[in-house]
Amino acid sequence: MPFDVISSATMVERDLNAVWEWFDYRRGVLSELQPNPAHYALAEWQDQFSEFTLVTQNVDGLHVKAGSRDVIEVHGSIWRSRCLSCGSRFGLMADEARFDSCPSCGERMRPDVVLFGEMLPMDAYERAAKAASECDLCFVIGTSALVYPAASLPEIAKHHGAFVVEVNPERTPLSDLCNEVLTGKAGEIVPLLNKTSL
């Protein structure tokens, strides 16, 4: 079954067990991954700057694993489940049996990720957009800049006067908007920025 079918809102309604099987498999694969040097460098930035917000589209949890705190995960996290009825969220471990029913209300649980055909959680996007509108410096790291509305966050930052820096192996639709484009892998470039004075 194609990825965009099994990871869709329609499949949650049609066959939630198949969705869980897919995401349980993905958690097993992701549990072996470790953060790269960019993840660790960004976690250090949080300790270096009094005001720092980290927003990610990734659902892999690697920023948290690297030590980042209060990460705004606009597409959710593969390491959480969410109740279909009351919205309660519960953490998951790679080797942990998941709840099939909500400990709070008894209804069915689903992976807490944004699936194809779903909107971003408004609370996460609003927090991210507010941070973008208030920042002085915005780094955009390792994204295709094609997935909206998350791709609009650097545009919001630029509109409000932020200096926008892109770090990516290749140019994106966002590159011309940026004040600076650093071409290369995040794991190589971002740690170098820690060695310079930001």
What is the distance between the alpha carbons of residues 156 and 174, in angstroms, rounded to a whole number?
A: 12
Query: Which of the following is catalytic: 39, 63, 75, 159?
Result: 75
**Residues in contact with 24: Cβ distance below 8 Å, sequence separation at least 6, in sequence order:** 98
Q: Where are the beta strands (DSSP E) in the chain?
A: 55-56, 72-73, 76-83, 89-91, 109-113, 137-141, 163-168, 180-183
Edge-to-edge strand list for the sheet holding 180-183: 137-141, 163-168, 180-183
Q: Give which of 19, 3, 1, 8 is closest to 118, Cα–Cα.
A: 8
Structure tokens at 95: 């080797």
Q: Give, in order, the Cα–Cα distances in Å from 21 to each of 27, 37, 43, 85, 110.
A: 10, 31, 32, 21, 11
39 is catalytic: no
Cα(132)–Cα(71) distance, integer angstroms: 14
Other beta carbons less than 10 A from residue 92's beta carbon = 22
Active site residues: 75
